[in-house]
Chains A and B, each alone.
Chain A
Amino acid sequence: MINVATKNRIKDKLFEYWGVISTLIGVVLLVVFMTDIFMEGISRIDATFFTNSPSGLKPETSGIFPALLGTLWILILTASISIPLGVGAGIYLEEYSEKNWVSSLLEINISNLAGVPSIIYGLLGLEVFVRIMGLGKSVVAGALTLSLLVLPIVIVATREAIKSVPNSIKQAAYGLGATKWQTIWTQVLPSSIGGILTGVILALSRAIGETAPLIVVGAAAYIYDAPDGLLSEYTVIPMQIYTWMPDAREAMKVNAAAGIIVLLMITLVMNGFAVYLRNRWQKKVKW
């Protein structure tokens, strides 16, 4: 007869093992998946993969050049739109707004926007940017749509970074006769720029991996040139992968896998850079 105390200890130990397993299960599966993809796609990775256009006729020479440049365009445009707006909103909410119903509304609102499924932003972009504003299935419409998605993230990152600047620094600046904006511009922003940049890069790296909203606003499934203007058609890397995937030919599957490798590399580099920035910034500004 095992007594209760022993039973409890056994249960305790069992859970400990289960805990380790469950913690590692996701990570292990991810590694398994990654290895699988890597092995499937690595054969296609050479210089031509990056410089060729996709080809339905000759899958072995299909490349992601238009998608690569499309992603670049989208990245730069989205950054140009969302950074000023997001950082500006973050500064306002953190430094200027008073505790009243307007600011509470803004806060709830941003919290809501962060939880909206990305495809809904696609629908919004479809109606407003593609149709009403007449931008069509253009790269600028795609960038505007992604900016909507990324905006709440940038705002939150900005606010967190600004919050971490000690009040004593602001008091010192005010005490010397600086205006609110002077204090923000000369002290608060320079000190929080690291945190803001980190948040921005993470947001953009997420935007790069987004497929659904861009499908909805018309990223092209079959395109062979890089974008040549704000209004030109375009594709992005995840979109190109999505186009290659349903194709039953083995070579196309390899291309899709190779495309994924490229996408993951880019995401990894961006995330890594953001983490590096965060560490450097935290070391530099030791209060």
Chain B
Amino acid sequence: MIIEKLLFLCASISILITLGIILVLLLDTFEFFQEVSFIDFITDKKWTPMFKDKHFGIGSLLAGTFLTTVIAVGVAIPIGLSIAIYLNEFAPKVFRKRIKPALELLAAVPTIVYGFFALTVVTPFLKQFIDIDSFNALSAGLVMGIMIIPYISSISEDALYAVPKSLREAAYGMGTTRLQTAFKVTVPAASSGIIVSIILAISRAIGETMIVAIAAGQKPTLTLDPTETIATITSFIVQVTTGDVEHGSIEYKSLFAAGITLFLFTFILNNISYFIKKKYQEKYD
């Protein structure tokens, strides 16, 4: 049937896209490594493709990505999990219903807006208390953390919700408080779902571009100091493509080397979470 074939074509475009991503990244990266040695890529402490003195050590970009992600996740996990537990175990149903859409809103705000906050509100605010650069990892990380709260709270809450009532009642029957039930019974039972939510949040933070590009800086620095200006893989890509970059130049190829590194991380994380979800989904069916 023609219609079925047409529809199948639509569905298979998705495979084409994936293949396209992999191919494009691989080919340009391959060309990149014709000119830059892999050892240098891993060990060089500087990343300066745009300067006359070119260095291609991915370490600085990784440090920036790592730093901002850790800060973001460090904010989002305690808050997100607390929200999930509170809504699930403590909050009146009406409150839960009302507040959920508001939380989803946090993830719906365009990231450029968050970037603006980080730059013009958070950094000046922090400057009053600590010695911090105008572009720094801390502001960006904190604001990113706020943005990804719903990733953790929403998915974790669903996981907690799926835990059978009988387990909870067994605990209450023994005289436990809500807090104890949450931490000793419900959370462990929902652990796979919670882990999935954390992995997804990490993946989202790693891939975030605008917040870091605007507020964290575009100066690759190999550091773990959140008050310094840094660059991430994503902010580097934006920095280069904002200007004019010549196709086929080493600067152009470095985009893809950085890109494939990013893709590898998020790809691995996403698949881990996909398989954890699949494996533990049948547990309570």
Q: Do chains A and B touch in the complex (CB under 8 A)?
A: yes
Task: Choose from A16, A27, A89 the contact partner of B13 (Cβ within 8 Å).
Answer: A89
Contacts of A106 in B (CB 8 A): 11-12, 14-15
A85's contact among B10, B85, B116, by CB below 8 Å, is which? B10
Per-residue interface assignment for chain A, residues 212 to 237, with 1 indicating a CB less than 8 Å from any chain B CB and 0 otherwise = 10011010010000000000000000
A165 → B minimal CB distance (Å)? 17
Question: Which residues 74-103 of B have a CB within 8 angstroms of A?
Answer: 78-79, 82-83, 85-87, 90-91, 99, 102-103
Contact in complex: A23, B87 (CB < 8 Å): yes
Contact A88 B6 (CB under 8 A): yes
Q: A211-B210, A212-B210, A245-B119 are in contact. Are A152 and B112 (CB under 8 A)?
A: no
Tell which of A11, A111, A211, A238 touches B179, judged by Cβ atoms closer than 8 Å: A11
Give the bracket for the number of chain A residues in contact with chain B.
Answer: 35 or more
- B76 CB to closest chain A CB (Å) equals 9
Chain-B contact segment, one of A54-62, A122-130, A168-176: A122-130
Closest residue of chain A to B278 (Cβ to Cβ) is A108
A119 touches B234 (CB 8 A): yes
- Using known A-B contacts A19-B85, A85-B13, determine if residue A124 contacts B20 with beta carbons closer than 8 Å: yes
Q: Which of B4, B28, B208 has the most CB of A within 10 A?
A: B4
B10 near A88: Cβ-Cβ < 8 Å: yes
* 0 or 1 for each of B196-208: is its CB under 8 Å from A? (1 = yes): 0000100100111
Cross-chain contact B110 with A267 (CB below 8 angstroms) = yes
Contact among A117, A127, A208 for B208, CB-based, below 8 A: A117
Q: Does B168 contact A (CB under 8 A)?
A: no
B68 proximal to A (CB < 8 A): no
Cβ < 8 Å to A, chain B residues 1-43: 1, 3-4, 6-15, 17-18, 20-21, 24-25, 28
Q: In the complex, which residues of chain A have a beta carbon less than 8 angstroms from the beta carbon of B9?
A: 88
Given A20-B86, A96-B4, A263-B110, A242 and B214 contact (CB-CB distance below 8 Å):
yes
A111-168 at interface with B (beta carbon < 8 Å): 111-113, 115-124, 126-128, 131, 148, 151-152, 155
> When the two chains form their complex, are residues A253 and B120 in contact, meaning their CB atoms are under 8 A apart?
yes
- Within 8 Å CB of A97, what residues of B? 8, 11
Within 8 Å CB of A205, what residues of B?
Answer: 108
Please judge, given known A-B contacts A96-B4, A116-B263, A124-B24, whether A221 and B113 are in contact too, CB under 8 Å.
Answer: no
Is B256 an interface residue, CB under 8 A from the partner?
yes
- A29-37, A45-53, A279-287 - the one binding chain B: A29-37
Give the interface of A toward B (CB within 8 A). 8-9, 11-12, 15-16, 18-20, 22-23, 25-27, 29-30, 33, 36-37, 40, 84-86, 88-89, 91-93, 96-97, 105-106, 108-113, 115-124, 126-128, 131, 148, 151-152, 155, 180-181, 205-206, 208-212, 215-216, 218, 221, 238, 241-242, 245, 253, 256-257, 260, 263-264, 267, 271
Which residues from chain B sit less than 8 Å from chain A, CB to CB?
1, 3-4, 6-15, 17-18, 20-21, 24-25, 28, 78-79, 82-83, 85-87, 90-91, 99, 102-103, 105-106, 108-113, 115-117, 119-121, 146, 149-150, 177-180, 200, 203, 206-210, 213-214, 234, 237-238, 241-242, 247, 255-256, 259, 262-263, 266-267, 270-271, 274
> What are 19 contact pairs spanning A and B, CB under 8 A?
A12-B177, A22-B79, A22-B82, A27-B103, A27-B105, A37-B113, A89-B14, A93-B11, A113-B17, A116-B267, A116-B270, A117-B262, A119-B238, A124-B21, A131-B247, A180-B4, A209-B110, A212-B111, A267-B108
